[in-house]
Amino acid sequence: MHFQWNWRLILVTLFLPILGFIGTASAQRSLPTDTVNIAAASRGGRIVNQPTVLDDQKEYGSQNLIDEKIYSADGKGSFGWVSNHYDPINMEEVVVGFAGNESKRIGRIVLNPATYVARERWAKDISLEVSDNINGPWQNIAEITLKQVPEWQEFKFLPVDARFVKLRFRTNYGSDRAIALGEVQIFESINTEKGIGGTIGRLESAIAELDKWRKNQLELGVGAAVQRVSTPNAPSSNVNIAAKSNGGKIVAVSSVFESERGKGPDLTYNADKLIDERVWQKEDKPSNGWSSEGFVPGQQWVILGFKDDRAQPIGKIVFSLMCYQPRDRWARRVEVQVSNKAYKNEDDLKSFRTIQTINLASVTSNQIFDLPPTEAQYVRLVFTANGPGGVDIPGIDPDVNSDRAVALGEVEIYPPKATNSDLDSIITRFKNISSDLKRLSRTNPELAALEIPEINAATENALLDTPDKDNPPKAPQVTPAQSAANTRIKTARTPIRRP
């Protein structure tokens, strides 16, 4: 138990500087709420009014809305609440109150429309209102539209004080007989202005940002199979960050093939053909690929950059040899080098380091290689052998099948593989931390008022009732204003346990 809480507390503390800048930009839109459903009958929630019930059958009574059960296809659970009529003028209403008739500061409601009646009767549009008095006046705080699916549907709103919460049912999905709803859950808002509440707010902002990033990754297809470059019209499941269409560029090249020597580079063999997402084939507008002028191992190279000259994480590279040159000029061995130094001239070539040497087969299909995940502003391809190989003649360099050129058809570069499970694991850890802090804010109000960085190891050991024998705690360094609170907490010796 001690280890589990300890690493979470440390993780929160370490992430505070990171969460700080997220909180500055987005804390206002982060509306954290507690995890306890205060509308549940088991926690003192109650239905205050007496809404109509279908044919006065108690199986469809309004108490089903707060019984923490939901109707399922196997017939288990409760049937939910179903009204005895549907009138868009004299609308049905359900009023929920809380334990001890207390006023609560609420920020979230969760509804499930699943009931044991035809789906046309399921609630669709609901007005949400609050009041401190059962007789009103009532304040409208949200207009809710439910989907016609048997799922939990969450709605957040600005924190508001409420002794009573009214659900006014405006429409259903097409029935004139009744209106129905399965379950209601209501959650208190968390004050983010001080103490642990502020940390929870920043954590939930971070979780929202991670969720957004995960969705973007999935939309871009990061981690899925790489598509063949020879079929550019196929739906891409990944982002080729080297492609010209994605901002990729050729930064420098050692040389370009001269179709007629002495007449200068033939631009139909220029290096930009490596990133045009096309390969040579017998068609109306083929891409010749890139070819060098002459070939000496290690002296022919191409430098690729990314959008806005920014460093990018890379983890996969794809080569296609299909180009308008004979096979004895096709690249056979390539050193993949990276650098994060701005390239200005050939003196900057010294900043490149090799991360992998790749041997290519003399085939027309794509060849895919995983790279050690790294960040690079520039990728340099250095060609050290061409042709199919197999030349074993005294006095002839086996790495040179042709000294006329080295050639390549297309290059693609992809970010490291990011899987759903990796992102889910990170998000789940943050959610667990947030849940622990929410529970802590309920069970230890005095501790919750302190800022997380001031809960040092000594204070934590006193709270846990499991002191570290190998490293006895030193007196906690707290301000005079906090010393009395810490003393009371230590005396109480309230253990912190995972739920």
**Most trustworthy range by pLDDT among 134-148, 250-264, 378-392, 436-450:** 134-148
Q: Looking at per-residue confidence, does 29 or 421 come out higher?
A: 421
Give the pLDDT band (50/70/90) at residue 159: very high
**pLDDT computed for residue 221 by the predictor:** 55
Give the mean pLDDT of the chain.
80
- Please give the average per-residue pLDDT across 206-225, as a whole number: 66
Query: Residue 360 pLDDT > 90, yes or no?
Result: yes
DSSP character for 122? B
**pLDDT computed for residue 498 by the predictor:** 34
Query: Residue 467 pLDDT > 60, yes or no?
Result: no
Q: What is the rounded distance in angstroms from the CA atom of residue 139 to the CA atom of residue 178?
A: 26
Query: Residue 3 pLDDT > 50, yes or no?
Result: no
Q: Looking at per-residue confidence, does 277 or 219 come out higher?
A: 277
Q: Which residues pair with 165 in a beta bridge?
A: 96, 130
- Please give the average per-residue pLDDT across 307-334, as a whole number: 91
pTM reported for the whole predicted model: 0.51
**pLDDT computed for residue 208 by the predictor:** 83
CA distance to 156, 437, 462, 476, 495, per residue, from 472 (Å): 45, 25, 11, 12, 18
Q: What is the rounded distance in angstroms from the CA atom of residue 353 to the CA atom of residue 427?
A: 34
CA angle 416, 420, 425 (to 5 degrees): 105
Q: Looking at per-residue confidence, does 321 or 209 come out higher?
A: 321
Which range has the worst mean pLDDT, 87-96, 192-201, 343-352? Answer: 192-201
CA angle 496, 497, 499 (to 5 degrees): 135
Query: Residue 311 pLDDT > 90, yes or no?
Result: no
Residue 400: what are its φ and ψ, rounded to 5°?
Answer: -120, 105
Based on its alpha-carbon atoms, the radius of gyration of the chain, rounded to whole angstroms, reads 33
**pLDDT computed for residue 91 by the predictor:** 95
**pLDDT computed for residue 47 by the predictor:** 97
Give the pLDDT band (50/70/90) at residue 11: very low
CA distance to 230, 280, 361, 362, 413, per residue, from 365 (Å): 8, 12, 9, 9, 16
**pLDDT computed for residue 477 by the predictor:** 45
Q: What is the rounded distance in angstroms from the CA atom of residue 411 to the CA atom of residue 290?
A: 10
Query: Residue 246 pLDDT > 80, yes or no?
Result: yes
Q: Give residue for tokens 């846990």.
A: 464
